[in-house]
Amino acid sequence: MADDPFALFDTWLAEAAGEPNDPGAMALATADADGRPSLRMVLLKGHDSRGFVFYTNRESRKAGELAANPNAALLFHWKSLRRQIRIEGAVSQVLDTESDAYFESRGRASKLGAWASDQSRPLDERATFEARYAAFDARFSGDVPRPPHWGGYRVAPERIEIWEDRPGRLHHRRLFTRIGDGWSEGLLFP
Ligand SMILES: Cc1cc2nc3c(=O)[nH]c(=O)nc-3n(C[C@H](O)[C@H](O)[C@H](O)COP(=O)(O)O)c2cc1C
- pLDDT tens digits, one per residue of 63-119: 999 999 999 999 999 999 999 999 999 999 999 999 999 999 999 999 999 999 999
40, 61, 149: residue to mutate for ligand 1 pocket, most atoms within 8 A of CB: 40
Q: pLDDT, tens digit, for every residue of 38-66?
A: 999 999 999 999 999 999 999 999 999 99
- Measured CA to CA, the distance from residue 59 to residue 114 in angstroms comes to 12
CA of 168 to the centre of ligand 1 (A): 35
Q: What is the pLDDT of residue 99?
A: 98
Q: What is the DSSP string of the chain?
A: ----HHHHHHHHHHHGGGSSS-TTEEEEEEE-TT--EEEEEEE--EEETTEEEEEEETTSHHHHHHHH--EEEEEEEETTTTEEEEEEEEEEEPPHHHHHHHHHHS-HHHHHHHHH--TTS--S-HHHHHHHHHHHHHH-SS--PPPTTEEEEEEEEEEEEEEE--GGG--EEEEEEEETTEEEEEEE--
Closest ligand 1 atom, CA of 25? 1
Q: Are 44 and 102 in contact (CB under 8 A)?
A: no
Q: What's the gap in Å between 95 CA and the centre of ligand 1?
A: 21
pTM summary value = 0.97
Ligand 1 centroid to Cα of residue 42, in Å, is 5
Largest Cα separation within the chain, whole Å, is 59
Of the residues 30, 56, 77, which should be mutated to test ligand 1's pocket, given the most ligand atoms within 8 Å of the CB?
A: 56
Helix axis angle, 108-116 to 126-139, nearest 10°: 120
Ligand 1 environment, Cβ below 6 A:
22, 25, 38, 40-43, 54-57, 60-62, 119-120
